[in-house]
Amino acid sequence: MRRISCAVSAAVLMFGVAPATASPPAAGQTISGEWRNVKNTVHIRAYPCGDAVCGTVIWASPKAQASAREKGTERLEGTQIFREFRPTGDGGYTGKVFVPTVGRTFAGKLRVTPDDKLVGKGCVLGGLFCKSTTWLRLN
């Protein structure tokens, strides 16, 4: 249990995770595009991949890269962190999130808010421990 809690805490440090709530997206908003975390240490590109949406790191600060390397992710840039996200029918998406700083994949949810932010939520132990992060659109 302590190990899982540490993993979630590591995700908080890496991606600048902070508590957040997501509202349904406004018409025309899309998950596709380029996003940055609130600390501006990681940029991702979200894009269609088959019948799903994926997201790959396109830029990372030296500190973020070093943190990922310490945990076994040799090259952060180019790493797919959003995997197999599919629409849920309510404006959100569910899929998997790879957290490079812990080298593990967790169940996750994504939603674009009416103010055009991408809110990601990852949970472990069947939803017992959850953390959210907000990504800001770059384009």
DSSP state of 9: H
pLDDT tens column, 64-102: 999 999 999 999 999 999 999 999 988 899 999 998 888
pLDDT tens column, 92-101: 999 999 988 8
Is residue 59 within 8 Å of 34, Cβ to Cβ?
no
Task: Record the pTM.
Answer: 0.78
